[in-house]
Chains A and B, each alone.
Chain A
Amino acid sequence: MKSKIAIGIGAIGMMLAMAACSGSPSNSGSDGGKVDLTVWTGFTGGDRPGYAEIVKDFNASHPKIQVTMTVQPWDTIQQKLPSAWLTGQGPDLATPSSDPNAVAQYVKTNSVLPLTNTGSSNTQINVDKLAPGTVTEFTYNKKLYAVPANFATLSLYYNKKAFAAAGISGPPTTVAEFAADAKKLTIDGGQTQFGLALADNQTIQMWPILQWLEGGDIVNAKNCSVVQSAAGQKSLKTWSDMVVNDKIAPVGLTGAEADSLFSAGKAAMEMNGPWAAPGFKDAGIDLGIATIPVGVNGKVTLGSTAPLSISAKTKYPAQAQEFLAYWTSKSVQQKFSLSTGFPPLRTDLSDDAKLKADPVVSVFAAQVPDSRLYLPGVPNATQVDADGYVPLIGQITRGQSVAGSTASIGATINGLTGCKS
């Protein structure tokens, strides 16, 4: 009987050992001097081939470092990465979120590696040449914790056929024209066509652009809400009135729904990033891309960047940083921009002749100097968005009073950011 018990315990032990061995999702390792790195990214859109090309070129030019990129939805990364990196079983590198503010959380939990391999040589991350806003965004306590995996601006996509049918000769150039065109392009109160596909949830935010164009904002330099200020209310009211009264856009659209609406030819304009262009072209839209119209205080648009970080527990910090240096290098970024339409994330490519000649890149790149990130450096920015800004837009586009909504949401935002004044 004792021997049976021993066999039983042994079998269970083996089972557990096998389970433990098979638990690691990461395949990074070293084989005969060759280092294998794993990367998780959330780039599932039309820009995906551009990132795959970077990895492919890196592997071809670095025989001793081989990178495997796994692409999965942002939600999945968000669920798996915190615990995966904590237990040392995650990938060597990852884009933790499409929200640049998410890096703060990983810094707080000591999950990301501070980047030290900075400088101007080919194998170093050239911080001085990266878009300044991105470096500031990813710097905490004077240490850099991520590089921008990309940098995008939002431009105005428009349906040339719809514009021609409405007798409008070209895209709007000022915010006043933008508003007038949105009304003119709305047919049958939106039943036939909406002037604008305007998403307000589960998306990159479009409403801050409208606010900025009208001279309003969300928070000030002290991270205190200004949506309830006179300028804030006016900026929101102008466009929410057009949604409620003129039906220029459907209410409560997600980003994907807004894209579908524009792709189906049921909306004449949409503000979106370069990743959307391939889908719109594939849908057969007679597509035009223009810069965001000039606002009351000048040019402005939303800038967006996804962070690319290294796990604090990677066994190969030097090789991982070399990969980041390659990713952000000049020639790689030039090629990436040309293949995806994204503006370059390096300042030394802003005058690049090839990029300027590209009709798509040139539009997005031209707006980089005027771009602003969404809630950069604001404490609890993710919650400010989910519990503050998204409900605010939801309320006012459903006819609730702008004064009342901004007063109550302003207090919520201040509570989340820790604003004292």
Chain B
Amino acid sequence: MSATATHPESSRAARGGSGSAKPRRVYKRRLSPAILFMAPSAIILGAFVFWPILQSLYYSLFNWTIGAVDQQWVGFGNYIELFHDPHFWNALSVTLIFTVSTVVVVIIIGFLVALLLLRENLITRIVRSIFFFPTIVSLVSIGLVWKFLLDPSIGLVGGLTQLLGITPITWLQSTHLALPSVIFVAIWRNVGFAMVLFVAGLKGVPAERYEAARLDGANNRQLTAFVTLPSIRPTLLFTTLILTIQSFQVFDLVYVMTGGGPLFVTDSLVNELYREGFVNFRTGYASAISWVLFAIIMIISALQLRLFRYNDVD
């Protein structure tokens, strides 16, 4: 009891030690196990995440071809070529359209569905599960199924439209409809994910806030705008951020459904990266694309954090 009551400084002085020696020893004893616990994860992350990231930056400065004896140094040549490449600008534009459309629509529909299914009963639980189901299915499977459904000659959608006397629509072969079709499938797949997050967020909003607002005369629209939305700001931030990053990295769905076609109208940045890296074997150029994509995602994520006032304390 007396030991705990003694002031640390006086205790240190009584033992004749220097003023800073003991705290450093304590710090060391506590740090070592921490490092050991972190080491496996740090090594795995370092070897399989951070090192490849840095390596790709290095590759992007060369005309790098896997296995070539001489790798030609080009400095920022790949980046300069990238900015003169019409395929890159097309892919960037496709990716931006895909991301903005998908994220905005998924957030809006996900939020509305969450509001509708907020009440707890058997039916809402079943409907929530139905909405969430596509999220747990792989994008490749989803892409294959939708590709088959949308086939104008042998697909279900084409068959139904033909029964109604309408000429089957070439959803994925038309240069006007291919991208909207892929966006639609991405929205269909992600609405359940957003809905589940919003349901969790909405359940965390204290009932007293609504009560207080109602006492102040707020109507339903005002409750949503001034109580619900500000209260679920962290959920909104998380959902938007994750969906944005996912959408910028879209590859599987495009690759399976359209292969980037027709005429490159669905060619996303990662699809182009894949083509340059694994079909044309231009690893350096593909690495440059990945770094530009990384920079874009970082800037947009920072803007989103700013927009949703990440650092603000409620």
Which residues of A approach B to under 8 Å, CB–CB?
1, 4-5, 8, 12, 15-16, 78-79, 82-83, 85-86, 105-106, 108-111, 190-191, 194, 201-202, 250-254, 257, 260-261, 264, 266, 382-383, 386-387, 390-391, 394-395, 398
Contacts and interface: CB of A to CB of B under 8 A. Distances in A.
A177 B71 CA distance: 54
B153 A250 contact: yes
A264 B154 contact: yes
Given A250-B173, A260-B153, 14 more contacts: A8-B39, A109-B68, A110-B68, A191-B162, A202-B259, A252-B170, A252-B261, A254-B259, A261-B154, A383-B280, A387-B87, A390-B261, A394-B261, A394-B262
B294 to A, nearest CB: 21
Given A250-B152, A252-B173, A264-B153, A86 B66 contact: yes
A16 B43 contact: yes
Given A251-B170, A252-B262, A382 B280 contact: yes
B136 to A, nearest CB: 24
B65 interface: yes
B279 A78 contact: yes
Contacts of B153: 190, 194, 250, 260-261, 264, 266
A79 B261 contact: no
A391 B264 contact: yes
Given A12-B39, A394-B262, A111 B67 contact: yes
28 contacts: A1-B29, A4-B33, A15-B40, A16-B43, A82-B66, A82-B278, A85-B67, A106-B67, A108-B68, A109-B66, A110-B67, A110-B68, A191-B167, A201-B259, A250-B152, A251-B173, A252-B170, A252-B173, A254-B259, A261-B153, A266-B154, A382-B279, A386-B275, A390-B261, A394-B261, A394-B262, A398-B262, A398-B263
Identify the 10 closest CB pairs spanning chains A and B, nearest first. Answer: A109-B67, A252-B173, A86-B67, A8-B36, A82-B66, A252-B262, A394-B263, A264-B154, A266-B153, A105-B281
B110 interface: no
Interface string B163-203: 00001101011110000000000000000000000000000
Contacts of B261: 201, 252, 390, 394
A261 B168 CA distance: 14
Contacts of A79: 278
Given A86-B67, A264-B153, A253 B173 contact: yes
Nearest to B280: A383
Nearest to A104: B281
Interface string B234-275: 000000000000000000000000010111100000000001
B66 A250 contact: no
Nearest to B281: A105
Contacts of B33: 4
Contacts of A111: 67
B154 A260 contact: yes
Contact of B43 (A12, A191, A386): A12
Contact of B69 (A16, A83, A110, A387): A110
Contacts of A391: 263-264
Contacts of B40: 12, 15
A12 B170 CA distance: 56
Contacts of B43: 12, 16
A83 B278 CA distance: 10
A261 B151 CA distance: 10
B32 interface: yes
B55 to A, nearest CB: 12
Contacts of B87: 387
A150 B64 CA distance: 32
Contacts of A260: 151, 153-154
Contacts of A16: 43
Interface in B11-46: 29, 32-33, 36, 39-40, 43
A78 B175 contact: no
A5 B36 contact: yes
A8 B39 CA distance: 9
A254 B281 CA distance: 23
Nearest to B277: A79
Nearest to A254: B259
B307 to A, nearest CB: 37
B65 A257 contact: no
Nearest to A260: B154
